[in-house]
Amino acid sequence: MGEFSNRSVAIVGSGPGGMYVAQALLEKAPGCRVDIIDRLPSPFGLIRGGVAPDHQKTKRVDQKYAQSITENESVRYVGNVALGRDVGLDELNQIYDAVVLAYGAPYDNKLGIPGEDKENVYGSNAFVGWYNCHPDFKDLGPNLEIGNAAVIGIGNVAIDVARVLSRTPAEMSTTDIADYAMDSIEAASLKNIYMFARRGPLEAACTNNELKEMGVLEAATTVVDPSVLPAEMPEEMDDREKKVRARIVDTFKELSQAKAGEKRRTVHIEFFASPTEILGGDKVEGIRMERTKVENGRCISTGETFDIPCEMVITCIGSRAEPIEGIPFNDRSGIVEHEEGRVSPGVYAAGWVKRGATGTIGTNRLDSYAVTDLLISDFAGDPMPGPNAMDSLVCDRDLQAVSFEDWLVIKDLEEKAAIEPSPRKKFCTVESMLEGLNATR
Ligand code: NAP
């Protein structure tokens, strides 16, 4: 029993933002009881449903997260229980001393241009969720029987999407990509993927390691027009930034040596191009782009446009949180309203719902630790009832909450269903996860 054993905290969302709050509580508030509530039976948010299937090494951080739960009796996983659907924030507030909102930013930003509602236009969360077996997106059914696709943006998500669309079954054999997605990508007539960056190579949002992967694809070539690459780094750029940017520009230079059409698919990276309209009838037939220039890092319109024929558009332009009734929301930035992590008395925000969809998995660690410090410093007054009251609520509402032990059973079923060297064959629906679990009882 620790000093904080009369306190309890609910963390809503088991992605990196929430899991680092759990870890911080274990270190800084020993004994404090922690319930990690997630709307899906499967834990760890973007680690499972967002990180690219061919980045299994990155996904292994889930082992550390799992340890925080399995090695500590004070921490529980309460899966398949959704805030806003099964339980209200006011109810959690009456049960726990603190509630941490860490439910991420899973909604795609919109371009806000004509034609965005056409068939075969997708946001990256939906598209990535589709190939990652996310229950919300397994039925997306993108039509890949096309010649050209446009990917908007040049962040790491755009790189993930272009890369996964270019991979072969052999390259993906060690991954947990959805079978239906791999089959569809392999059978696709898709030849060209145009990645459009509205600014230049010096402003590209991707990181170098991710960009480098585009140069070593088995069945796809990535090409860049060498004439748009800067010969030198700008004088005014600080030294650290210069170093980072120079590496990225060098990678673009390496990519610029390749020729379009050398392999089955070609990824064309196009800088200084911003979409103004998605063309066609009900279906996408092309995209109208405006040539841009960059001044002081800012994207400036030139008025000059060009059209690229394509039959699919995937926007990879960032994402936003879901507004939930009763939780103050900043619609402009797509995050929960808060002051340094404090949302309202006893309610805090962490992860992307707090900061917006930026940064690496590790960025969440520092941020979640800081929010946890605040939360602990706010503990005051009589302790709230805690996890037993949550159990009563789950029981009264006849919810099938999934514990971590339950999840380990589902995980084991997924691993047993995989064909080596794939690590797992994911269940793609909540129902199939629960059926699998119930069948073992
Ligand atoms: P991001 O890094 O913010 O990139 C968004 C891209 O969309 C940028 O190129 C941006 O251009 C462009 N964009 C935004 N609005 C646009 C508009 N209206 N029209 C045209 N282009 C527009 O976002 P992300 O790729 O979704 O990634 C989110 C975070 O997750 C990032 O921090 C990323 O590094 C991280 N992540 C990391 C990995 C990895 O480490 N392997 C993988 C996936 C994601 P501007 O720059 O001009 O705004």
The tokens for 178 are 């959805």
Q: Where a domain ends, among 263, 291, 317?
A: 317
In the block, residue with structure tokens 């010649």? 147
Domain that holds residue 197: 110-317
Ligand 1 within 6 A of 43 CB?
A: no
Is residue 253 domain-shared with residue 134, that is, in the same domain? yes
Q: How far is the CA of 357 from the centre of ligand 1 (A)?
A: 8
Look at residue 326 and tell me whether its pLDDT is greater than 90.
no
Residue whose C-alpha is closest to residue 115's, from 253, 343, 315: 315
In sequence order, the 6+-apart residues with CB closer than 8 A to the CB of 1 are 31
Ligand 1 within 6 A of 154 CB?
A: yes
Our measurement of the distance from residue 82's CA atom to the centroid of its chain's CA atoms, rounded to an integer in Å, reads 19
Q: How far is the CA of 438 from the centre of ligand 1 (A)?
A: 40
The tokens for 183 are 């089959």
Q: Where a domain ends, among 291, 317, 343?
A: 317
For residue 204, tell me if it sits in a domain. Answer: yes
Task: Determine how β-strand 335-336 pairs with β-strand 329-330.
Answer: antiparallel
The tokens for 322 are 């879901």
Look at residue 2 and tell me whether its pLDDT is greater than 80.
no
Which band of pLDDT confidence, cut at 50, 70 and 90, is reported for residue 1?
low
Task: Count Cβ neighbours within 10 Å for each residue of 402-430 and write b for 16 or more, e otherwise.
Answer: bebebbebbbebbeeeeeeebbbbbbbeb
Is residue 327 domain-shared with residue 301, that is, in the same domain? no
Q: What is the Cα–Cα distance from 27 to 4, expressed in whole angstroms?
A: 11
pLDDT tens-digit series, residues 148-160: 999 999 999 999 9
Q: What is the Cα–Cα distance from 16 to 292, expressed in whole angstroms?
A: 36
List the CATH number of the domain containing 194. 3.50.50.60
What is the number of the ligand 1 atom nearest to the C-alpha of 319?
A: 26
pLDDT tens-digit series, residues 161-181: 999 999 999 999 999 999 999
Peptide bond into 421 cis (omega under 30): yes
The tokens for 46 are 């973007």
For residue 254, tell me if it sits in a domain. Answer: yes
The DSSP element (H or E) to which 387 belongs, if any, is: helix 387-396
By CB neighbour count within 10 A (0-12 exposed, 13-18 middle, 19+ buried), where does 282 fall? exposed
Our measurement of the distance from residue 140's CA atom to the centroid of its chain's CA atoms, rounded to an integer in Å, reads 17
pLDDT tens-digit series, residues 178-214: 999 999 999 999 999 999 999 999 999 999 999 999 9
Q: What is the Cα–Cα distance from 60 to 64, expressed in whole angstroms?
A: 8
In sequence order, the 6+-apart residues with CB closer than 8 A to the CB of 212 are 251
List the CATH number of the domain containing 428. 3.40.50.720
Is residue 296 domain-shared with residue 377, that is, in the same domain? no
Is residue 162 domain-shared with residue 82, that is, in the same domain? no
Is residue 79 domain-shared with residue 202, that is, in the same domain? no
Ligand 1 within 6 A of 273 CB?
A: no
Q: How far is the CA of 205 from the centre of ligand 1 (A)?
A: 6
pLDDT tens-digit series, residues 63-118: 999 999 999 999 999 999 999 999 999 999 999 999 999 999 999 999 999 999 99
Strand partners, 308: 287
For ligand 1, atom 33, name the residue with the nearest CA: 156
In sequence order, the 6+-apart residues with CB closer than 8 A to the CB of 20 are 350, 364, 365, 367, 368, 369
Ligand 1 within 6 A of 198 CB?
A: yes
